[in-house]
Amino acid sequence: MEKTYKIEVDCANCAEKMQEAAKMTEGVADATVSFMTLKMKVVFEEGADEKAVMKKVLKACRKVEPDCEIEI
Amino acid sequence: MSKKQKKVLFRIILSAVLFIIISIFRPEGYFELLYLMPYFIIGYDILRKAVLGVAHGEVFDENFLMSVATVGAIGLREFSESVAVMLFYQIGELFQSYAVGKSRKSITALMDIRPDYANIEKDGKLVQVSPEEVKTGDTIVVCAGEKIPLDGVVIDGFSTINTSALTGESIPRDVNVGDDIISGCVNMTGLIKIRTTKEFGESTVNKILDLVENSSMKKSRSENFISKFARVYTPAVCYGAVALAILPPLIRMFFMNTEPMWSDWIARAFTFLVISCPCALVISIPLSFFGGIGAASKCGILVKGSNYLEALSEAGYIVFDKTGTLTEGVFRVKNVYAKENAVVMQDIAAAQGSVGKENNTAIQGSVDREGNVTTQSIDIRERVLEIAALAESYSPHPISSSLREACAAEIDQSRVSQVEEIAGHGVTALIDGKKAAVGNAKLMDKFGIAYEECKETGTVVYVALEGEYLGCILISDVIKADAKEAIKSLKKAGIKKAVMLTGDNEAAAGEVSEELGLDEFHAELLPADKVDCVEKLLNEKPSKSKLIFVGDGINDAPVLTRADIGIAMGAMGSDAAIEAADVVLMDDDPQKIALAIKISHKCLRIVYQNIVFALAVKAVCLVLGAFGIANMWIAIFADVGVMVLAVINATRALSVKK
Which of A13, A18, A36 has the highest number of chain B CBs within 10 A, making it the mutation to test binding with B? A36
- The distance from CA B388 to its chain's CA centroid, rounded to whole angstroms, is 39
Averaged pLDDT score across all residues of chain B: 81
The answer to whether the CB atoms of B97 and A34 lie below 8 A apart is no
Chain B residues in contact with A12 (beta carbon < 8 A): 100, 279, 282-283, 286
The confidence score (pLDDT) of residue B594 equals 93
Phi, psi of B152 (to 5 degrees): -175, -165
Closest CA of chain B from A24, distance in Å: 15
Q: Which of A13, A32, A34 sits opposite B282 (nearest CB)?
A: A13
Averaged pLDDT score across all residues of chain A: 87
**What's the rounded Cα separation, in Å, for the pair B47 and B244?**
24
Decide: B486 and B505 in contact? Cβ < 8 Å: no
Phi, psi of B314 (to 5 degrees): -105, 10
| Mean pLDDT in residue range B540-556 | 85
What CATH number labels A2-66? Answer: 3.30.70.100
Q: What share of chain B is helix, strand, coil (3-state, %, to 5)?
A: 55, 20, 25
**What's the rounded Cα separation, in Å, for the pair B587 and B591?**
10
Judge: domain B329-478, CATH 3.20.19.10: no
The answer to whether the CB atoms of B278 and A13 lie below 8 A apart is yes
What band does B342 get if pLDDT is binned at 50, 70 and 90? low
Per-residue pLDDT tens over the stretch B622-637? 888 888 787 777 777 7
| Count of CB pairs separated by less than 8 Å, A with B | 59
Most confident of B101-105, B565-569, B600-604: B600-604
In sequence order, what are the residues at sequence separation of 6 or more whose Cβ sits closer than 8 angstroms to the Cβ of residue B636? B85, B88, B89, B92, B274
Chain A residues in contact with B96 (beta carbon < 8 A): 11
What band does B153 get if pLDDT is binned at 50, 70 and 90? very high
The alpha helices in B474-526, defined as continuous H runs, are: 483-492, 506-516
Per-domain residue ranges of chain A:
2-66
Nearest 5°: CA angle at B610, between B606 and B612?
120
Per-domain residue ranges of chain B:
1-110, 118-203, 302-328+479-599, 329-478
Closest CA of chain B from A17, distance in Å: 9
**What's the rounded Cα separation, in Å, for the pair B379 and B338?**
10
Per-residue pLDDT tens over the stretch A13-60? 788 888 989 999 999 999 988 887 788 889 999 888 888 999 999 999
Closest CA of chain B from A23, distance in Å: 14
Closest CA of chain B from A59, distance in Å: 11
Per-residue pLDDT tens over the stretch B157-191? 888 888 877 777 777 888 888 888 888 888 888 88
Residue of B nearest to A61 (CA): B56
Residue of A nearest to B60 (CA): A64
Strand pairing partners for B125?
B122
What's the topology of domain B118-203? 2.70.150
Lowest mean pLDDT among B98-112, B345-359, B464-478: B345-359
| Mean pLDDT in residue range B602-630 | 88
- Look at B453 and B94; give whichever has higher pLDDT: B94
Chain A residues in contact with B93 (beta carbon < 8 A): 10-11
The answer to whether the CB atoms of B214 and A41 lie below 8 A apart is yes
Q: Which of A10, A16, A36 sits opposite B97 (nearest CB)?
A: A10
The answer to whether the CB atoms of A4 and B104 lie below 8 A apart is no
- The distance from CA B74 to its chain's CA centroid, rounded to whole angstroms, is 52
Per-residue pLDDT tens over the stretch B294-317? 888 888 888 888 899 999 999 999
The closest of B279, B287, B283 to B107, measured between CA atoms, is B287
DSSP character string of B430-445 = EETTEEEEEE-HHHHH
Helix (H) or strand (E) holding B642: helix B642-650
Q: Which of B58, B93, B230 sits opposite A64 (nearest CB)?
A: B58
Residue B351: is its pLDDT beyond 60?
no
The confidence score (pLDDT) of residue B366 equals 38
**What's the rounded Cα separation, in Å, for the pair B407 and B391?**
12
Lowest mean pLDDT among A31-45, B28-42, B566-580: B566-580
pTM of the predicted model over 0.80? no
User: Does residue B237 sit in helix, strand or coil?
Assistant: helix
Chain A residues in contact with B213 (beta carbon < 8 A): 37, 39
The answer to whether the CB atoms of B62 and A35 lie below 8 A apart is no
What band does B571 get if pLDDT is binned at 50, 70 and 90? low
What band does B261 get if pLDDT is binned at 50, 70 and 90? confident
The answer to whether the CB atoms of A36 and B286 lie below 8 A apart is yes
The answer to whether the CB atoms of A34 and B56 lie below 8 A apart is no
The answer to whether the CB atoms of B49 and A66 lie below 8 A apart is yes
The closest of B140, B170, B78 to B633, measured between CA atoms, is B78
Q: Which of B57, B213, B219 sits opposite A37 (nearest CB)?
A: B213
Q: Which of B53, B227, B277 sits opposite A16 (nearest CB)?
A: B227
User: Does residue A10 sit in helix, strand or coil?
Assistant: coil
Annotated catalytic residues of B are 321
Q: Which positions 15-44 of A are in contact with B (Cβ < 8 Å)?
A: 16-17, 32, 34-39, 41
The answer to whether the CB atoms of A36 and B282 lie below 8 A apart is no
Q: Which of A4, A16, A66 sits opposite B230 (nearest CB)?
A: A16
Q: What is the dihedral of CA B368, B372, B378, B380, to 10 degrees?
A: 170
Chain A residues in contact with B214 (beta carbon < 8 A): 4, 41
Residue B587: is its pLDDT beyond 50?
yes
What CATH number labels B302-328+479-599? Answer: 3.40.50.1000
What band does B602 get if pLDDT is binned at 50, 70 and 90? very high
The confidence score (pLDDT) of residue B357 equals 40
Which of B2, B47, B56, B97 has the highest number of chain A CBs within 10 A, making it the mutation to test binding with A? B56
Give, to the nearest 10 degrees, the angle between helix B3-25 and helix B79-110: 160
Per-residue pLDDT tens over the stretch B225-249? 887 887 788 778 878 888 988 888 8
Residue of B nearest to A67 (CA): B49
What band does B70 get if pLDDT is binned at 50, 70 and 90? confident
Which of B58, B93, B107, B309 has the highest number of chain A CBs within 10 A, making it the mutation to test binding with A? B58
Chain A residues in contact with B227 (beta carbon < 8 A): 16
- Other beta carbons less than 10 A from residue B395's beta carbon: 17
Give the percent of chain B with pLDDT over 70. 89
Helix (H) or strand (E) holding B206: helix B204-215
Chain B residues in contact with A64 (beta carbon < 8 A): 56, 58
Q: Which of A4, A11, A36 sits opposite B290 (nearest CB)?
A: A36
- Look at A71 and B208; give whichever has higher pLDDT: A71
Lowest mean pLDDT among B33-37, B38-42, B58-62, B64-68: B58-62
Q: Which of B100, B213, B279 sits opposite A13 (nearest CB)?
A: B279
| Mean pLDDT in residue range B535-554 | 87
The confidence score (pLDDT) of residue B497 equals 92
The answer to whether the CB atoms of B216 and A63 lie below 8 A apart is no
**What's the rounded Cα separation, in Å, for the pair B17 and B117?**
48
| Mean pLDDT in residue range B578-582 | 81
Which of B217, B309, B643 has the highest number of chain A CBs within 10 A, making it the mutation to test binding with A? B217
Lowest mean pLDDT among A27-31, B67-71, B338-342, B429-433: B338-342
The closest of B279, B277, B236, B261 to B628, measured between CA atoms, is B261
Closest CA of chain B from A11, distance in Å: 7
Residue A66: is its pLDDT beyond 50?
yes
Residue B213: is its pLDDT beyond 80?
no
The answer to whether the CB atoms of A4 and B107 lie below 8 A apart is no
| Mean pLDDT in residue range B435-451 | 79
| Burial environment of residue B641 by CB neighbours within 10 A (0 to 12, 13 to 18, 19 or more) | middle
Chain B residues in contact with A6 (beta carbon < 8 A): none
Per-residue pLDDT tens over the stretch B403-412? 777 777 777 7
